Structure 1
Amino acid sequence: MKVSQLYIYPIKSLRPTSITEGILTPRGLQYDRRFMLLKVQPATDNSGSTTLKNMHVTRAPEMGLFQTDIEIPQGEDDRGKVIVSHHPPSQSSSAAPGSDAEVSSVNKLEIPLQPDVKNLKSFEVVMHQSPTTAYDMGAEYNEWFSACFGYPVVLAYMGDHWREVLGTLAPAKQKHRNGQWWQTWQDSLLSPSGLEKWIHPILIVSFFINAIYQTKSYIQNGMSPEAAKALLPAALAGVALVVYTITNKDDDNKQEHEDGISFADCAPYLVISETSVDDVSTRLPDGEEMDHTKFRPNIVVSGAETAFEEDFWTKLAVGSDRVSLLLTGNCVRCQSLNVDFATGRMGDGESGAVLKKLMKDRRVDSGAKFSPVFGRYSFLDHAGDGMSIRVGDEVVVQERGEERSAVDWPGLTN
């Protein structure tokens, strides 16, 4: 099997940017879903206050009218660009795609790919009970999007923040869920960073035992018990100082080492199979093909022998470096599959009934009995942090599950 397509979504729920090579990080492909849009809603009590509501293509199908591209930074002073183009239906229907008339009518916006946040207002964004801090990109960008949508919106940037992973999708939580807590402990102990972490508690315990032993020794050598015990708080104060130092160091580094995600709903990566997409296309009228970008994948794999065999994939090795992707859960689907990107509305006819078609035989997850499954949520093995993935890379299934996994988080899609 091979990697046939790679996609990042610079702005959540807008159409993706196709790339031929990407940098893998624990939070997803570099630059993926670092921005999102929120709708400004006035309060219902006529107080003049407003609230912000997260925007998703399911509830706002007009988001499908926006296409994205990126320019990667080329130096320390280059912040790169996200290039957003808006293709409203009137323009799409009045000019042939790619014609001079079509190109001239497209409304475009350039956004720094890595904004300077020091002068930006921060605020809390909560997605599915998983909060994070984000930055309001400001009037220039908010007004452009607001004009395109026809209602006020805010463009948010995540910066260096991240969100907690839902449920037990994160690999470490999977091991606890499956009764493999001992494996989590073993992995932590045997890894280079884990050995460093275990040195501290061992030293603390040794220090504590030594303090008790010395107190006993003083008593045996003739010191009164009262005088020996008086030395114990001083010894234990040293233990407390070491504990305090280590605890604060761990708090500072906690964010760096925990599994986390950006503005993606459930996991850093979504893997789908071309063979499965082809199966969906057979359910459409002759001449129609399923647009695989409606499944919102990051990694598309070609060459699978059978449709939906990825339901059982649990670990993939990608490329010559054998980077490991851990596939921990199914992606259960919603109405976003029915969006017509040309009109920015739910589709008509057969293409607007893809979700219903999948309902017939793809409700295969016991944790989401009323939603069809397509694709697998994935996490990067930490050893692959910073490595590259490329179109054409070989993909090998290293581990398969004997049974399908079951979701234990709200049924969500990217």
Structure 2
Amino acid sequence: MAAPLLLTDLYIYPVKSLGGIRLTEAVVEPRGLRHDRRWLIVDERNRFMTQRQTAAMAHLKVAPAHNGFLLSHQERPDMLPLYVPFAGTPEKTLFVTIWDDMVFAWRAQPECDEWLSEVLGQSCKLVYMSDMVRRDVEPDYNPEGQLVSFADGYPFLLIGQESLAELNGRLTEQVGMDRFRPNLVFSGGAAFAEDDWAEFTIGRVAFRAVRACGRCILTTIDQTTAQKNPTGEPLRTLAAYRNQDGKAMFGQNVTTTAAAGPVRVGDTVTVSSYKA
């Protein structure tokens, strides 16, 4: 008898492209796990910043704190950690650009901008997405009109432990799951079993696997050292055997129809339908 599929890890990334917080339980909301990617760092032109262009963002670590989180720079012990609340306030507002979307955002306190500009060595601002903002999932894959936070395109990313193990079996140097920034990690089943899922539940919360996630250069950045792998791994290996339309695929982009609901590490994952 096959081993059951179980949720083994939950992650939120309060600030897009910074470190994650590992949880034992989380609340599923329409635009993602509660507090996931609701904050964003933007440059002087109010355009989003990520590790793709600014690899040094990997040096910024995120730790949970009361009703918020602490940001610290692992190479700058002279900089005191910065406290950021999970929810922003509407004192100052501006429009910011993320990919092809322009959305309304709330400014963080000035000390947040100052701290980030100092540690990243460039002028930047921290902004928050309120519940009043509507940012839609890609229209071609969004018949239900689902929303997304400051994540790239979808509210959740799902990856199987066996998928990472299979990839590591092809690599000279192992990589951790943090290279791929998932929200939902499960065990059981074959490697890349999630590619075939259509509808599934975690505990009592229903999800839909929309499409495979095309990976980028961020996967080549060591999240401890902020250094890019000069050989292009693991992206190079992924591209050699997980290529689809010129992109290296790893993980599934996922939406939910749940208004809200809890998921917990140890919950059973039940697949109810598969892609045609």
Q: Using the TM superposition, give the Cα deviation of residue 57 of structure 1 relative to its aligned residue in structure 2, in angstroms.
A: 1.3
| Aligned residues with identical type, % of pairs | 30
Q: Using the TM superposition, give the Cα deviation of residue 261 of structure 1 relative to its aligned residue in structure 2, in angstroms.
A: 0.9
Measured in 2, the distance between the counterparts of 1:37 and 1:128 equals 13
Q: Using the TM superposition, give the Cα deviation of residue 17 of structure 1 relative to its aligned residue in structure 2, in angstroms.
A: 0.7
**SS of residue matched to 2:234:** helix
Aligned to 2:40: 36
**SS of residue matched to 1:7:** strand
Pairwise mapping of residues 169-318 of structure 1 onto structure 2 (< 5 A)?
169-172=141-144, 258-285=145-172, 288-304=173-189, 306-318=190-202
State the superposition RMSD in angstroms: 1.7
Q: Conserved in 2, the CA contact under 8 Å of 1:171 and 1:328?
A: no
Q: Using the TM superposition, give the Cα deviation of residue 358 of structure 1 relative to its aligned residue in structure 2, in angstroms.
A: 0.7
Please state if 1:86 is matched with 2:57. no
Measured in 2, the distance between the counterparts of 1:146 and 1:5 equals 32
Measured in 2, the distance between the counterparts of 1:67 and 1:316 equals 32
Aligned amino acid, residue 62 of structure 1: A
Q: Conserved in 1, the CA contact under 8 Å of 2:46 and 2:97?
A: no
Q: Using the TM superposition, give the Cα deviation of residue 128 of structure 1 relative to its aligned residue in structure 2, in angstroms.
A: 2.3
Superposition misfits of 4+ residues, deviation over 6 angstroms: none
Measured in 1, the distance between the counterparts of 2:142 and 2:80 equals 40
Pairwise mapping of residues 376-395 of structure 1 onto structure 2 (< 5 A)?
376-382=252-258, 385-395=259-269
Q: Using the TM superposition, give the Cα deviation of residue 162 of structure 1 relative to its aligned residue in structure 2, in angstroms.
A: 3.2
Aligned to 2:226: 344
Pairwise mapping of residues 59-138 of structure 1 onto structure 2 (< 5 A)?
59-71=53-65, 80-88=67-75, 107-117=80-90, 119=91, 121-138=92-109
Q: Conserved in 2, the CA contact under 8 Å of 1:21 and 1:389?
A: yes
Measured in 1, the distance between the counterparts of 2:130 and 2:70 equals 18
**SS of residue matched to 2:94:** strand
Aligned amino acid, residue 253 of structure 2: Y
* Rg (Cα) greater in structure: 1
Q: Using the TM superposition, give the Cα deviation of residue 107 of structure 1 relative to its aligned residue in structure 2, in angstroms.
A: 4.1
Please state if 1:334 is matched with 2:216. yes
Question: CA distance change for structure 1 residues 106 and 283 in 2, over 3 Å: closer, same or farther?
Answer: farther
Q: Which of the two has greater strand per residue?
A: 2
Aligned to 1:199: none
Measured in 1, the distance between the counterparts of 2:102 and 2:22 equals 29
Q: Conserved in 2, the CA contact under 8 Å of 1:130 and 1:164?
A: no
Q: Using the TM superposition, give the Cα deviation of residue 70 of structure 1 relative to its aligned residue in structure 2, in angstroms.
A: 2.6
Q: Conserved in 2, the CA contact under 8 Å of 1:171 and 1:326?
A: no
Stretches of structure 2 lacking an aligned partner (at least 5 in a row): none
Q: Using the TM superposition, give the Cα deviation of residue 348 of structure 1 relative to its aligned residue in structure 2, in angstroms.
A: 3.8
> Which of the residues 367, 373, 377 maps onto 2:249?
373
Question: CA distance change for structure 1 residues 312 and 28 in 2, over 3 Å: closer, same or farther?
Answer: same
Measured in 2, the distance between the counterparts of 1:262 and 1:155 equals 15
Deviation readout 1:315-366 (Å, 9 max, x if unpaired): 11111x2x211111110011011002232231245xx421111111101x3x
Q: Conserved in 1, the CA contact under 8 Å of 2:89 and 2:108?
A: no
Measured in 2, the distance between the counterparts of 1:342 and 1:32 equals 21
Stretches of structure 1 lacking an aligned partner (at least 5 in a row): 41-50, 73-79, 92-103, 173-257, 403-414
TM-score normalised to structure 2 length? 0.93
Aligned amino acid, residue 83 of structure 1: L
Aligned to 1:214: none
Q: Conserved in 2, the CA contact under 8 Å of 1:82 and 1:112?
A: yes
Deviation readout 1:5-35 (Å, 9 max, x if unpaired): 0000100000111111000111100001010
**SS of residue matched to 1:67:** strand
Q: Conserved in 1, the CA contact under 8 Å of 2:199 and 2:274?
A: yes
Aligned to 1:237: none
Measured in 1, the distance between the counterparts of 2:146 and 2:102 equals 14
Pairwise mapping of residues 345-360 of structure 1 onto structure 2 (< 5 A)?
345-349=227-231, 352-360=232-240
Aligned amino acid, residue 68 of structure 1: V
Q: Using the TM superposition, give the Cα deviation of residue 268 of structure 1 relative to its aligned residue in structure 2, in angstroms.
A: 0.6
> Which of the residues 38, 46, 49 maps onto 1:55?
49
Deviation readout 1:38-89 (Å, 9 max, x if unpaired): 122xxxxxxxxxx2331011111111111112335xxxxxxx122112112x
Please state if 1:10 is matched with 2:14. yes
